[in-house]
Chain A
Amino acid sequence: MTAAVEVVDIARQFGRVQALAGVSLAVERGEFFGLLGPNGAGKTTLISVLAGLVRPDRGNARILGHDVVSDYRAARRSLGVVPQELVFDPFFTVRETLRIQSGYFGLRSNDDWIDEILHNLDLTSKADANMRALSGGMKRRVLVGQALVHKPPVIVLDEPTAGVDVELRQSLWAFIRKLNRDGHTIILTTHYLEEAEALCARIAMLKAGRVVALDTTRNLLSRFAGLTLRLTAAEIPPPWQARVLRREGRTAYIGLATYDDLERLLADMRMAGIRIEELALAETDLEQVFLRIMSGRDEPDDTRPVEAVPEA
């Protein structure tokens, strides 16, 4: 069966910036797939290639087997994209906006489905309100609705919960999960890694326009099984510096394989006379995996126990 989304060696340069540097990946039908990466990693560019908003320098992309350039009509009918920016047409009400969007896809009298979308997005009471009168969170839900009017088999959400309060975020995810259970393929980018961990069965991580990790969420978590220590101190003993995933001023995030590692680190610090100002320990979650991969320490070997500090 053709994949929901298939991307082969897509590259795109903007001026001197290589936004995508040969990205290949496939998303199977019915998957809930996460696309993660720091700002500028190329997530939005990749989504824009799928939507036909950016033409790649090389490579090709297909939605349900339809090439996004040569067979763009079928590709775009198969795809619904929720953009990251809060865009809206100030001339129209919520219902008009959704009706117009339906019409672009050739769907007339789509009101039954529009009503269902409005209900699921908790927008029924705002159906006749002008778009200008909506709060940011409501506008964002209308964007979700616009992406869904033509019942696309593949739905891409680019940071859909930014600016949406917690309660609405939960109801939005319940709706998206329902769409996924009904068979829609969902591709999600988000800054909330706990969301990706809770929702996505498989994840691709992008960095500087390349795929640096592509695996099931479970495998990614087990591959990096271990602990992350948040440690605030004047310095970190030299042998442990290679384990630092990220620094925020005097606070360092250090990857540990086992509690034995923790003991050794603390012993080294005591021997070196370094005072611990603050210390906290966390189980590996997607955020830690993300930090490890983005810091370039993405080899599981990195978590092997550190040799004892050589005597000075």
Chain B
Amino acid sequence: MSAAEPGGDARPATDGGRAERRDGQSHLTARAAIGPGWLTLLHKELLRFWKVSFQTIAAPILTSLLYLLIFSHVLESRVAVFDNQVRYTAFLVPGLVMMSVLQNSFANSSSSLIQSKITGNLFFVLVTPLSPGELFAAYVVGAMVRGIAVGLGVLAVTVWFSPALLAMPHPLFALAFALLGSAILGTLGLVAGIWADKFDQLAAFQNFLIVPLTFLAGVFYSIHTLPPFWQALSHFNPFFYMIDGFRYGFFGLSDVPPTVSLAVVAACAASLATLALVLLERGWKLRH
């Protein structure tokens, strides 16, 4: 075994993307490709849910399909949305897609963090040179990929009930809301995962905050069908803007102008990202 400059200055690997020793000898890892460490953490995050994809991807797709079958069957002829310009089933599909994106993004980062904390293996992430920004990027992008993968799956199985949806008039709007929404929930999951010490604390966060906010955000109804008080209250729910804006991408119709929604959602994403980065920088609940 040849030790890699054990007594020497240890900046073998990452900074310049090259492996060179100060004394000019080739570093032991010279043959090894060097890359940014956070991509490995991202890769690990993806593998983590991919290895249990039946639970992390297939199950939420099935749940959404059941929602669609039941709600569209019961409500199709009774609920009018967007002044009857859109069938209820068609209205429901983007709502369910976005709800899946949001809930699964949250689930991914939060469960990864709490599991690593409880099993203790977060130790081996925290002793690496990864910066707070890199930790943030890996966990949030991992969550976004899971959320969007589930969202695409839900779209694939539900779009058959309303194929006209594929003629999306504003696909970039839908994409922007999916990306921002999943980033927001991935970030919330990161913060919740760092905050929680036990699984039931995390479950409380999910069941008493995330689920009510998504259900009350107009997944199953247009807020114009609500009494004025509840309609006004809905405007304080950031999830409402994510779902309404996402739906605009499919119909060109929305409860509030899509640019307003985009501004609200982007502001939410920026503030939460700032909060998460500050917490990671300070080592809140991770580095004592």
Contacts and interface: CB of A to CB of B under 8 A. Distances in A.
Interface of A: 4, 14, 29-30, 48, 51-55, 63-66, 72-74, 76-79, 81, 83, 85-92, 96, 100-110, 112-113, 116, 120, 146, 150-153, 178-179, 182-185
A151 B3 contact: yes
Contacts of B11: 74, 77
B130 interface: yes
Interface stretch (B65-73, B115-123, B166-174, B256-264): B115-123
A51 B35 contact: no
Interface stretch (B26-34, B211-219, B235-243): B26-34
A311 B39 CA distance: 80
Contact of B128 (A76, A89, A91, A116): A76
6 contacts: A29-B7, A55-B283, A104-B124, A109-B31, A110-B32, A178-B1
Instruction: Indicate the member of A54, A77, A152, A184 with the most B CB atoms within 10 Å.
Output: A77
B44 interface: yes
Please list the 8 inter-chain residue pairs (A to B) with the smallest Cβ-Cβ separation, ordered nearest first.
A103-B40, A87-B120, A106-B14, A78-B10, A151-B4, A182-B3, A183-B6, A73-B129
B32 A108 contact: yes
B47 interface: yes
A131 B212 CA distance: 37
A106 B123 contact: no
B13 interface: yes
B36 A106 contact: yes
Given A106-B37, A179-B3, A184-B7, 7 more contacts: A55-B283, A74-B9, A76-B128, A101-B124, A106-B14, A108-B34, A152-B10
Contact of B119 (A65, A90, A107, A178): A90
Interface in B243-288: 283, 287-288
Given A14-B288, A87-B123, A89-B119, A109 B32 contact: yes
Given A91-B48, A104-B41, A109 B33 contact: yes
A117 to B, nearest CB: 9
